[in-house]
C-alpha cells in the first residue's frame, strides 16, 4: 500500500509529478537514460561490491545468507541550502548529545532539574554505573554519530534515531560514490557535487585530536571483533583508508593503566582506539567476564584518562529509544534554543494515556521495541495484517514499558530503478557527524537507504532495503 501524497524529492508530488525545477536536469537524465542501460550500470556496481566483499549477514537466516546490500543507481540529491540547514541542526543535536553524556556520567543536573524522569536513566541498562565519573579526554563521549533522518516535504526533516554507539554504514557512503563516479560520470559534470573522499582524513583528524595528551603523532588503531563480524569489511576499509593499524583484542595489552600494541619491533603505546566492539565485550574484567573479544584492563586505562575510546563506553544511554522522546527537551536544555531538527512525535507506552491511544490506533501507527534495532520487533500499522496487529496488542498490554509508538510518516520518495522501470520508493538518510577537540565536522554526504518494495517504509538492510548515493550540491544548480 503506497502512502498517499508522499513527497518525491526529484519529481515533487508523486501524484502530479510537477517536478522540482532545480533538479530538472536529473529528471531528464532519468527519463532519457534507457532502463536497460541503468540496469547494466547497477549490475556493474553490484558486481564490484561483491568483488570487494561488502557483504552483511541477515540474522535469522542460514549462514550462507551473507549477501550484498542492493545498490540503486539513481542518486538522491540535496541543494546547498537544504544541506546547510541540516548541518546546523546536526551540529546542535550532536553537541547536545555530548553535553548530555558528560552530565549523565557527572553532575546529573538534568535529572536534578527534572527534565527527564530519573528512573528512565538510572534503571536503564545503557547507563553504566561502573563508569560513573568518567572524564574522557577533551570531554567528548560520542565522537562519531550516525543520525537517522526522514523527510516528509521540501523543508521537513525529522530525526528518527540517534546512533551514538558504533554506527556503521560509512563505507557504503564512500563506495557508492566511487561507483557513481565510475559508472555515471556525466552526472558530476551536470551538477557541482561536493566531494566526500575527505571523510577518512576527517575521521583520522578527529581521532588524533582526542589523544589524551599532546604527542608528536598520536597512535590510533581500529579495534575489530574480527573477520566473522558482519561489518568487518568496513573495519578493514576504514583502517586502510586512514593508514592506521587494524587490531584485534589479542594485539593489545594494558600495562600500568596504559594501552600497548604488540608489534614485531616491540610494543607501541596506543593513544586512541576506534573500537567497533560493543560495550559488553570490551573488557572482561568489568563487563561480560567470558568475553574473548575484549582487552583486560581497557576500562582502567580509560578511567585513568590514558586512552581515548571512540566512542566512549556507555554512550548507548544517549541513543536509547526510551530517551529519544526526550531529545527535544535535552537539546533545549543544553543548547539554550529550540531543536532545529524536530523529533518524530512519539507516544511513550509506559504512560497510560499514550498506551490507550496506541492501542486505539494500532492500524495507523508504527510501534517499536524500546531496545530493538535493525527493524526487528516493529509493527507498521497501515501495512500490517490483522494477526500482526493483534500480536502487538497482546505484547503491548503485557509489557507496555517496552514500546513506543509513532505516527506513520509519509516518508519522501526518490526515483528508483525497479523491475517495472524507474518508480518512487521511500528513503531515509544517515549523515555521519564527527566530534573532535576542535569542533564538529560533517562530510557533505551520507548513507541513503531505500525501501525497495513498493510502498514499504522499512529501509533496514535486514528487511530488504538498499542504498543510494547522496549528492550534496556545492552551489545552486
Partner 1 sequence: MRILISHRTEYRFTEPQARVVQLLRMTPDSHLGQNIVDWRIEVDCDARLKSRRDGFGNIVSMLYLEGPIERIGLSVTGEVLTEDRAGVVNGAANLLPAGVFLRPTELTTANAAIATIGAPHGINGSDPLGCAHSLCDEIHERIACTADRSTDMRSAAEILEAGAGCSMDMAHVLIATARAAGFPARFVTGYLSDDDAAPQQRHAPHFWAELHIPDYGWIGFDPARECCPDEHYVRVAIGLDYRDAAPISGARIGGGHEVLRVGVEVSADADGQLQTQN
**Short-list 137, 142, 58, CA closest to 94:** 142
In the complex, least distance from residue 67 CB atom to partner 1, rounded to whole angstroms: 34
From residue 288 to residue 317, the character string flagging contacts with partner 1 as x (rule: CB under 8 A) and all else as - is -x------xx--x--xx-------------
Cβ-based nearer residue to partner 1, 106 or 154? 106
For residues 110 and 280, what is the distance between their CA atoms, to the nearest angstrom?
26
Q: Which residues in 229-258 contact partner 1 (CB under 8 A)?
A: 253-257
Residue indicated by cell numbers 566473522 = 228
In the complex, least distance from residue 298 CB atom to partner 1, rounded to whole angstroms: 10
Cβ-based nearer residue to partner 1, 258 or 414? 258
Q: Which residues lie below 8 Å from residue 193, measured CB to CB, with a gap of 6+?
A: 187, 471, 472, 473, 474
Cβ-based nearer residue to partner 1, 37 or 132? 132
From residue 272 to residue 291, the character string flagging contacts with partner 1 as x (rule: CB under 8 A) and all else as - is ------------xxx--x--
Cβ-based nearer residue to partner 1, 127 or 157? 127
Binds partner 1 (CB under 8 A): choice among 12, 70, 108, 332: 108
Quote the DSSP letter at residue 19.
-
Handedness of CA 178, 182, 186, 189 (dihedral sign): positive
For residues 117 and 110, what is the distance between their CA atoms, to the nearest angstrom?
9
Q: Which residues in 110-129 contact partner 1 (CB under 8 A)?
A: 111, 118-119, 122-125, 127-129
Residue indicated by cell numbers 521537513 = 156
Under the binding rule (CB under 8 A), the answer on residue 135 touching partner 1 is: no
In the complex, least distance from residue 255 CB atom to partner 1, rounded to whole angstroms: 5
Binds partner 1 (CB under 8 A): choice among 47, 65, 130, 423: 130
User: What are the DSSP calls for 189-253, one per residue?
Assistant: HHS-BPP-TTHHHHHHHHHHHT-SS--SS--EEEE-S-TTSTTHHHHHHHHHHHT-EEE-GGGEE
CB atoms within 10 A of CB 125: 11
For residues 294 and 250, what is the distance between their CA atoms, to the nearest angstrom?
8
**Short-list 346, 339, 430, CA closest to 91:** 339
**Short-list 304, 298, 269, CA closest to 282:** 298
Under the binding rule (CB under 8 A), the answer on residue 268 touching partner 1 is: no
In the complex, least distance from residue 313 CB atom to partner 1, rounded to whole angstroms: 11
Binds partner 1 (CB under 8 A): choice among 62, 113, 114, 133: 133
Check: CB of residue 225 under 8 Å from CB of residue 276: yes
Binds partner 1 (CB under 8 A): choice among 2, 25, 57, 131: 131
**Residues at the interface with partner 1 (CB under 8 A):** 108, 111, 118-119, 122-125, 127-134, 253-257, 284-286, 289, 296-297, 300, 303-304
Amino acid at each position: 500500500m503506497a502512502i498517499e501524497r508522499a513527497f518525491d524529492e526529484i519529481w515533487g508530488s508523486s501524484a502530479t509529478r510537477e517536478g522540482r525545477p532545480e533538479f530538472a536536469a536529473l529528471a531528464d537524465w532519468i527519463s532519457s537514460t534507457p532502463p536497460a542501460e541503468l540496469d547494466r550500470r547497477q549490475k556493474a556496481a553490484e558486481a564490484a561490491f561483491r568483488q570487494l566483499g561488502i557483504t552483511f549477514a541477515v540474522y535469522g537466516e542460514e549462514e550462507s545468507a551473507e549477501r550484498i546490500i542492493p545498490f540503486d543507481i539513481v542518486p538522491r540529491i540535496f541543494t546547498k541550502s537544504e544541506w546547510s540547514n541540516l548541518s546546523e541542526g546536526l551540529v546542535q543535536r550532536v553537541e547536545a548529545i555530548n553535553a548530555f553524556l558528560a552530565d549523565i556520567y557527572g553532575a546529573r543536573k538534568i535529572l536534578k532539574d527534572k527534565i527527564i524522569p530519573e528512573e528512565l536513566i538510572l534503571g536503564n541498562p545503557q547507563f553504566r554505573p561502573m563508569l560513573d565519573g568518567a572524564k574522557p579526554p577533551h570531554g567528548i563521549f560520542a565522537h562519531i554519530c550516525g543520525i537517522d533522518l526522514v523527510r516528509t516535504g521540501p523543508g521537513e526533516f525529522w530525526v528518527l534515531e540517534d546512533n551514538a554507539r558504533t554506527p556503521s554504514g560509512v563505507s557504503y557512503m564512500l563506495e557508492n560514490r566511487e561507483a557513481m563516479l565510475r559508472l555515471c560520470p556525466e552526472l558530476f559534470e551536470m551538477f557541482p557535487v561536493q566531494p566526500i573522499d575527505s571523510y577518512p582524513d576527517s575521521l583520522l583528524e578527529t581521532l588524533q585530536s582526542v589523544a589524551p595528551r599532546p604527542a608528536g603523532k598520536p597512535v590510533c588503531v581500529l579495534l575489530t571483533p574480527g573477520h566473522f563480524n558482519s561489518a568487518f569489511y568496513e573495519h578493514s576499509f576504514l583502517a586502510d583508508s586512514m593508514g592506521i593499524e587494524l587490531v584485534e583484542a589479542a594485539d593489545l595489552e594494558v600495562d600500568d593503566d596504559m594501552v600497548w600494541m604488540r608489534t614485531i619491533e616491540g610494543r607501541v603505546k596506543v593513544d586512541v582506539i576506534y573500537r567497533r566492539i560493543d560495550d559488553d565485550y570490551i573488557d572482561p574484567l568489568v563487563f561480560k567476564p567470558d568475553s574473548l573479544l575484549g582487552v583486560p584492563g581497557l576500562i582502567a586505562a580509560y578511567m585513568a584518562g590514558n586512552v581515548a575510546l571512540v566512542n566512549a563506553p556507555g554512550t548507548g544511554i544517549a541513543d536509547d529509544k526510551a530517551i529519544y522522546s526526550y531529545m527535544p527537551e535535552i537539546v533545549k536544555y543544553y543548547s539554550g534554543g529550540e531543536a532545529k531538527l524536530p523529533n518524530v512525535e512519539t507516544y511513550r507506552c509506559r504512560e497510560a494515556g499514550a498506551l490507550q491511544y496506541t492501542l486505539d490506533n494500532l492500524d495507523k501507527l508504527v510501534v517499536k521495541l524500546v531496545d530493538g534495532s535493525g527493524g526487528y520487533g516493529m509493527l507498521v500499522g497501515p501495512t500490517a495484517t490483522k494477526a500482526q496487529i493483534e500480536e502487538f496488542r497482546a505484547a503491548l498490554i503485557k509489557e507496555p514499558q517496552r514500546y513506543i509508538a509513532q505516527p506513520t510518516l509519509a516518508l519522501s520518495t526518490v526515483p528508483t530503478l525497479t523491475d517495472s522501470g524507474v518508480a518512487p520508493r521511500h528513503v531515509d538518510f544517515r549523515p555521519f557527524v564527527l566530534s573532535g577537540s576542535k569542533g564538529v565536522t560533517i562530510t557533505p554526504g551520507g548513507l541513503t537507504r531505500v525501501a525497495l518494495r513498493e510502498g514499504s517504509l522499512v529501509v533496514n538492510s535486514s528487511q530488504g532495503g538498499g542504498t543510494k548515493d547522496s549528492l550534496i550540491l556545492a552551489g545552486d544548480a
